[in-house]
A and B are shown apart, each in its own frame.
Chain A
């Protein structure tokens, strides 16, 4: 209950008089704060974190979040395995990451303290539920003595709060069972944190009213718990200061908070609506991709068709069948699911049908780390099929960018008649940031052309001279593999009279699509399929190099590491180092100027959450002097880790 200042400052409130509420409170303005809520997986920490994020976003801060939770739905209460955390970074400036070290840590029990304390910076605020440190909690967390008592926390500002008792008292009149009453604990803790950072309770109160509209007693209880937490902070003066983070200066516009998976949902729906195409999303539930299926299933009123398949293979088959039928077929999964889909993806390559494969990557191999992030499926997307089997690969760089990348996936798949891998990851999928709502009129146009008439007129290739023999042998027939300037084949939708044709996985003669096993034809078709994918580069932007033009070091990355890499490069440049940066949103094909860019730098540093997959590609394809900075821990990069690698590379 007492406040304990690690820097040996007195626990009494300082005499400063610039408080805003009539108390002797000091309000200190800070530029950014990183806070983490940690507790049991049943403690509602994800919810508390999300509410804090929404409130901060609505208050005009820039935000970035990092939810981190165990694969077990409910590991035994109080154990180290069951700790769930939600980290929020909110700032008055432009930020790209959920933050490295924590300014504040809220822990509901001893296990949460044990697993999270290492991330709290010296002098940081530790809010501890003192009732989560009973003997049994300590033993489950493998503490011999309570860390709240043994002086080991004296480097931090410790705020002990009997959260359970206070919550029970707050909701005493709400006629809840003891279990239900205890479930309001997270709102008490949240209320306290709202007080610490001068946040408005209103967005959360509104959320509570809507969420529990059918259970008035829950509305009442959670409201009371939240307010009790806030008032406790104010009355008991648990902290000598309150902190305030001003609004961020961000571009004018209307914003909402968005996670990567939410952005994929919106991007797929918007892209297909603007292309005037049916969206068929076929998927099998898998972490961390499931929320895309769930999100799209909610959007039936947009005409979206979702299909929960019996397995991953079926999901891919349904998506490809839908594309064959004229819709935009999309299948979403995570890495292990891609393994199962790979034969079907090969068929889509062979039959040259549009297909979007959303892979929300997680730690592998096999079941790996289901809830942890990794970006180790790049080479799987590149090579993970039998035969010479090229597919397009693109990757979003932030949660909001998932929207634009989903658009690109639909555009490339339909324009080039090919499978497109959209490589997101668990970090982007669950992390959130403010997203400027785009003007629908200014969104890119996706013009999909379906064949409507026979196309053999003027074709004089094999089989033509022989007259009526062989499909396409005469004029007035449809040639399913007659290609356009990019080598894309026409997309004829079944139901169109006069264009009846057969496709399949057996090698086919170019132009006619007839089965063909000739040696020369197979080589021709293999090279043509590869060239078609390379031609995508003719329609994508060049790599944009940022940073110092005269740098010796280029930092090249892809996917969800964009935020930490960018922040690290900016920090190094502020410190006087010369560094350039490129970020690959297009992995296959890579932008046209890739070779030119790589050639300009003596050193290329490639930070990746894998053992060196982009490095491998850059070295193999461009003979670039790529050196990897590789982290394979199921966790995103800390900015400091990349800064250290840049400093080392330039030392």
Chain B
């Protein structure tokens, strides 16, 4: 497909818009994600009929109905499995999985882990609003400690899942985070995910206006955002803060926040390498959580952007290779031979 001399197909956002009425709550972060997805896909060079959106259950999972592509709204938590089957049958398609934190991390946690570890070529978008929206406001596996909800009166006390840590532990080959209101960043992240060959995992901070409004305000409010968010750029030092004076430095095996020019020079600041084969540093970045360091003098910022992007053989490529290998070794199978693969005997007339 890439080697073709004909220009890549381009689409308009209108062409990517189905005729179904969008029914999310007013002000929901999902609207922005939908709009940026349509925008991102206008330039990735995949024709409409080769795009498929597969979702589970939850607010986010209505997504496929609003895209004028192929779409499959499946069952709770299992979207990665349907997407895997779709890729096995039809390796030409670009398959996006749309899931939420309840869908993808709770009921579907197992499938997420296994799709990522197999490196199935699917792009998983995890809309994380740290709450159950469609079932009306119960805490989710991503809810931070203390989240007060209908099922966690007095505040939740379960350790939340860190979606990116989980994805990296599963050896996902592409891992990124973006934010619903950060539209340009989101478009760029989607485009990078689309270009990645293998399983891509993108966490999107998404505001639930009704049940968990403002949970990511520290990362979206312009007055504090610069201090709280670290934009990862491949090959660049990890700097943040209003005047980009703060940075991440390693002290032995421990990262620390330092001020450039005061605590150290620019050379001491950790450089981001998304292509590192070893996911250890990416994992370390995934541990930076805003809520865990509210009272620390130098709190860690939450990194957004691409944590990891490495090329490894996909599940589908390896399966196809095994099929080709088997056919080359034993000959392409004929049904007649298959029937007679065991000892046979003949009964004469």
Contact = CB atoms under 8 A, between A and B. Distances in A.
A146 to B, nearest CB: 40
B345 A57 contact: yes
Given A321-B83, A325-B88, A325-B89, A500 B68 contact: yes
A502 B72 contact: yes
B89 A502 contact: no
Interface in A293-343: 299-303, 305, 307, 309-311, 313-327, 329, 343
A370 to B, nearest CB: 23
B329 interface: yes
Nearest to A279: B89
A381 B130 CA distance: 38
B111 interface: yes
B326 A494 contact: no
Contacts of A515: 20, 65
A206 to B, nearest CB: 8
Contact of B73 (A278, A323, A325, A503): A503
A301 B111 contact: no
A314 B347 contact: no
A301 B330 contact: yes
A302 B89 contact: no
Interface majority SS (helix, strand, loop, mixed), chain A: mixed
Interface stretch (B225-233, B237-245, B293-301, B334-342): B334-342
A440 B111 contact: no
B110 A311 contact: yes
Given A255-B344, A317-B82, A325-B89, A502 B319 contact: no
B110 A310 contact: yes
Interface in A507-521: 514-515
Nearest to B330: A301
A326 B347 contact: no
Nearest to B342: A256
A129 interface: no
Given A301-B329, A314-B111, A499-B49, A471 B89 contact: no
Interface in A417-439: 437-438
Interface in B70-117: 70-76, 78, 80-90, 92-93, 110-111, 113-114
Given A256-B344, A301-B332, A317-B74, A496 B82 contact: no
Contacts of A469: 19
B223 interface: no
Contacts of A270: 335, 338-339
Nearest to B89: A325
A317 B20 contact: no
Contact of A494 (B65, B70, B342): B70
A15 interface: no
B82 A303 contact: no
A255 B346 contact: yes
Interface stretch (A226-234, A245-253, A532-540, A606-614): A245-253
B333 A321 contact: no
Contacts of A278: 89
B280 interface: no
A180 B27 CA distance: 73
Contacts of B69: 500
Contact of A282 (B49, B74, B85, B330): B85
A407 to B, nearest CB: 12
Nearest to B339: A437
A256 B345 CA distance: 6
A640 interface: no
Contact of A254 (B81, B83, B331, B340): B340
B343 A256 contact: yes
Contacts of B19: 468-471, 473
6 contacts: A269-B338, A270-B335, A300-B326, A318-B81, A327-B88, A503-B73
Interface of A: 54, 57-58, 60, 203, 250-258, 266, 269-270, 273-274, 278, 280, 282, 299-303, 305, 307, 309-311, 313-327, 329, 343-344, 346-347, 351, 437-438, 440, 468-471, 473, 493-506, 514-515
